[in-house]
Amino acid sequence: MSNINLKPHEVGVYAIGGLGEIGKNTYGIEYQDEIVIVDAGIKFPEDDLLGIDYVIPDYSYIVENLNRVKALVITHGHEDHIGGIPFLLKQANIPIYAGPLALALIKGKLEEHGLLRDATLHEINHNTELTFKNLSVTFFRTTHSIPEPLGIVIHTPQGKVVCTGDFKFDWTPVGDPADIHRMAALGESGVLCLLSDSTNAEVPTFTNSEKVVGQSIMKIIEGIDGRIIFASFASNIFRLQQAAEAAVKTGRKIVVFGRSMEKAIVNGVELGYIKVPKGTIIDPNEMKNYHASEILIMCTGSQGESMAALARIANGMHRQVTLQPGDTVIFSSSPIPGNTTSVNKLINTIQEAGVEVIHGKINNIHTSGHGGQQEQKLMLRLMKPKYFMPVHGEYRMQKVHAGLAVDTGVPKENIFIMENGDVLALTKDSARISGKFNAQDVYVDGNRIGEIGAAVLRDRKDLSDDGVVLAVATVDFKSKMILAGPDILSRGFIYMRESGDLIRESQRVLFNAIRVALKNKDASIQTVSGAAVNALRPFLYEKTEREPIIIPMILTPDE
């Protein structure tokens, strides 16, 4: 159970996910019998989480306090802010409030999980106001790499708590401009606590404008004769619009590959973010009717994902399109940490096929959706918070962001670098860490949620490092004799055909260990199995300096 120790007049502020990490952003603000949750994201697993599809937070605190949860409000439609919603709704069906695009993306997810019919969904915009008994929620427009990003203001009896969501300051954005006047007015009227995006806290400068990227894309596409394959994040609809504009201006038709890209284009066109003349987007079957110089392919896979459209095109696995000489592949993204190796591998594969690749910041064809230090300081200056909690970032990023807050005039003792589950208790003139609740990682493996724990992952790691050895023997406990075996089977440990001596020696060690164990009057399958493992493990380590998982299989005649 949770131990958060909030006094009746205190406001509780905490992260269920999103601190000390990039991903699973899920924040809570509560006062007495009301809780507002901001975002519900997922995190993509690091390489060491073998076989894991997604990481989500532990939602126990929300489930335990379900009767107090009034709303889940969404800042924008990226996976690290909405990807956890289906998993959360399976445990706690709470009303969701989101902008039109985020809502369209959420509906798609809920439909896949069979949850759409029972979900309570409300469309909001930057002028919406939600009112509950003690809390109310208002919004302000920011700028990010997806349309309709919102900052969120939770008005409490002790003061305003502001969650920036992901933001940058772009004075020449492709979408609607950020509402700087509203941000300044919030700061002027007093902000009790600011939760601000720390992602690019280590970047000292302003982040490049999306307009600069648009100009670069235009220039690059104008200079290419052959077919163009444009790979980007499906969610970066402004980028897709700029590529589409460049295609129209250079007389190219657009073909779309990749499920998430197809959905993004449909949503973008429906919501008016992607504007192209009728007939610009064509069916893949119509490609053969056009010259290579009249085609621009938009596809997923800019992060090197093996099953995405670009990798399948590059590996010759796509049924509708293959790479051909004269093609140019444009990567309009930069690798997310952890993806650099797979992106480089994909670029090598494409270039080996004799195809030109344009990628990286060198060509100004990508810019981050997150503000650097100058923008983070600007947000702090505009909001002038009494208390500050850096969120959405690894520990070192939170630490740098805390330093920027000190530089902009927030007293050091008013800054809280917290962990998931820590509760910050606030009044208009006090702040303290009041308690903690469980906010561990929960692993999603296929349809299994939370069943895969540390022990299973440790076994998977051991299997991937050293493989597995099966030790099989048939014994008769009555006559105390070994009737068959012991035999050794190996997977991922040694190549058996070339390791005859090691196998014979292992069988001898096993035979002796089992024979000795059988002499004991309390001999059982458990004791004999234990003796087999205890004898074989040090022997194999001494011979190979590796520690495979050893699985003993002790059979009896009646089996």
What tens digit of pLDDT does each residue of 109-137 get?
Answer: 999 889 999 999 999 999 999 999 999 99
Q: Would the pLDDT of 343 be above 70?
A: yes
What pLDDT is stored for residue 304 in this prediction? 85
pLDDT digits (tens, 9 = 90+) for 7-24: 999 999 999 999 999 889
Instruction: Please state, in angstroms and rounded to a whole number, the distance separating the CA atoms of residues 300 and 256.
Output: 9
Instruction: Please state, in angstroms and rounded to a whole number, the distance separating the CA atoms of residues 238 and 245.
Output: 10
Tokens 């915009």 label which residue? 125
> DSSP states of 170-235 as a string?
-SS-SSSPP-HHHHHHHHHH-EEEEEEE-TTTT--SPPPPHHHHHHHHHHHHHT--S-EEEE--TT
Q: How would residue 335 be classed by pLDDT, with cut points 50, 70 and 90?
A: confident
* Cis previous bond, 45, omega within 30: no
Q: Would the pLDDT of 50 be above 60?
A: no
Q: How would residue 25 be classed by pLDDT, with cut points 50, 70 and 90?
A: very high
What pLDDT is stored for residue 186 in this prediction? 97
Percent of the chain past pLDDT 70, that is, above it, reads: 91
What pLDDT is stored for residue 459 in this prediction? 64
Q: Would the pLDDT of 559 be above 60?
A: no
What pLDDT is stored for residue 248 in this prediction? 95
Instruction: Please state, in angstroms and rounded to a whole number, the distance separating the CA atoms of residues 440 and 181.
Output: 39
What pLDDT is stored for residue 545 in this prediction? 74
Two tokens, residue 503: 């196998």
What pLDDT is stored for residue 107 in this prediction? 93
What pLDDT is stored for residue 460 in this prediction? 66
Q: Which of 452, 412, 505, 410 is nearest to 194 (CA)?
A: 410
Tell how far CA 392 is from the center of its chain.
12
Q: How many CB atoms lie within 10 A of CB 3?
A: 10
What pLDDT is stored for residue 493 in this prediction? 75
Q: How many CB atoms lie within 10 A of CB 242?
A: 25
Using an 8 Å Cβ cutoff, are 488 and 503 in contact?
yes
Using an 8 Å Cβ cutoff, are 408 and 380 in contact?
yes
Instruction: Please state, in angstroms and rounded to a whole number, the distance separating the CA atoms of residues 411 and 416.
Output: 11
Query: What mean pLDDT is predicted for residues 152-161?
Result: 98
Q: Would the pLDDT of 36 be above 90?
A: yes
What pLDDT is stored for residue 382 in this prediction? 97
Q: Please, what's the b/e burial string for 472-497 (b: 16 or more CB within 10 A of its CB; e: otherwise)? A: bbbbeeeeeebeebbebebeebbeee
Query: What mean pLDDT is predicted for residues 78-85?
Result: 92
Beta bridge partners of 553: 472
pLDDT digits (tens, 9 = 90+) for 190-219: 999 999 999 999 999 888 888 888 898 999
For residues 344 and 186, which has the higher predicted lDDT (pLDDT)? Answer: 186
Number of C-alpha atoms within 13 angstroms, CB side, residue 330? 29
Instruction: Please state, in angstroms and rounded to a whole number, the distance separating the CA atoms of residues 552 and 548.
Output: 12
What pLDDT is stored for residue 260 in this prediction? 87
What pLDDT is stored for residue 451 in this prediction? 58
Two tokens, residue 292: 């290579």
Q: Which of 279, 208, 212 is nearest to 247 (CA)?
A: 279
Q: Which of 54, 57, 52, 122 is nearest to 420 (CA)?
A: 57
What pLDDT is stored for residue 384 in this prediction? 97
For residues 93 and 471, which has the higher predicted lDDT (pLDDT)? Answer: 93
Query: What mean pLDDT is predicted for residues 367-382?
Result: 94
Q: Which of 500, 498, 499, 488 is nearest to 536 (CA)?
A: 488
pLDDT digits (tens, 9 = 90+) for 415-470: 999 999 999 999 999 999 999 998 888 877 666 565 566 666 666 666 767 788 88
pLDDT digits (tens, 9 = 90+) for 500-547: 677 777 877 887 777 777 777 777 777 777 778 877 888 888 777 777
Q: Which of 194, 189, 135 is nearest to 167 (CA)?
A: 194
Q: Please, what's the b/e burial string for 434-448 (b: 16 or more CB within 10 A of its CB; e: otherwise)? A: bbbbebebbbbbeee
Q: Would the pLDDT of 89 be above 80?
A: yes
What mean pLDDT is reported for the chain? 88
Tokens 């985020």 label which residue? 102
Strand order in the sheet with 328-331: 253-257, 295-299, 228-231, 328-331, 356-358
Two tokens, residue 134: 């003690």
Q: Would the pLDDT of 51 be above 70?
A: no
What pLDDT is stored for residue 537 in this prediction? 81
Instruction: Please state, in angstroms and rounded to a whole number, the distance separating the CA atoms of residues 36 and 154.
Output: 8
Q: Would the pLDDT of 338 be above 70?
A: no
pLDDT digits (tens, 9 = 90+) for 476-504: 777 777 767 788 887 777 766 666 677 77
What pLDDT is stored for residue 46 in this prediction? 64
